[in-house]
Amino acid sequence: MKNIITLPLICIALFVGTSAFSQKTFVELNIVEPSNVDKPIGNISCLDVNSEKTYFVRSEKDTVSNADINKSILAFLNVLQPEKSYIIQDGVEHYFMFQYDEKQKRYLVMGNHIGNKNEAIYCETFSKAQEEMFVLLQKFYAR
């Protein structure tokens, strides 16, 4: 009988101990090239430890951490290269297009959220396209 009582107490102690110091990862986005959607070339995630958020940006070159979401978004967007197309994705519900149209020499920036109206933004320069994507990602993380 003593063993039956001890097991639930151990389970409760483990649950309380891990939840008090738990680390929760959320809001993760990956940058992929359309030709290889299974291989992320960049990633942004957030670690929330006792209500203090730290954002991590990982790429093939570097890993950067920062408590400021805006600085982290900028670091994330620095993974993008001019005259290339990318998909920024979060599972199956959200994805963002950063597409270069070589024929028209312009960029298409778009957020695609299931159930929401999607808005396409055309930009003539790479830096303007990055600015527009920055705004879309700010809105995404503010949700």
**Number of alpha carbons in the 13 Å side-chain half-sphere of residue 57:** 20
DSSP label at residue 72? H
What pLDDT, on a 0 to 100 scale, did the predictor assign at position 23? Answer: 36
In total, the chain counts a number of residues equal to: 143
For residue 102, the model assigns a pLDDT of: 96
Q: What is the pLDDT of residue 17?
A: 36
- 4 in a domain, yes or no? no
Would you state the pLDDT for residue 54? 92
Is residue 117 situated within a structural domain? yes
The answer to whether residue 11 is domain-embedded is: no
Is 45 contained in some domain? yes
Q: Which domain holds residue 119?
A: 23-142
Residue 62 inside a domain? The answer is: yes
pLDDT given for residue 142 in this prediction: 82
What phi, psi does 50 have (nearest 5°)?
50, 45
The domain tally of the chain equals: 1
pTM: 0.78
Q: What is the pLDDT along the chain (143 residues), one digit of tens a residue?
A: 444 444 443 333 333 333 333 334 466 899 999 999 899 999 999 888 888 899 999 999 999 999 999 999 999 999 999 999 999 998 767 889 999 999 999 999 998 765 666 778 999 999 999 999 999 999 888 87
- CB of 32 within 8 A of CB of 42? no
Residue 108: how many other CB atoms lie within 10 Å: 17
Q: Does 15 reside within a domain?
A: no
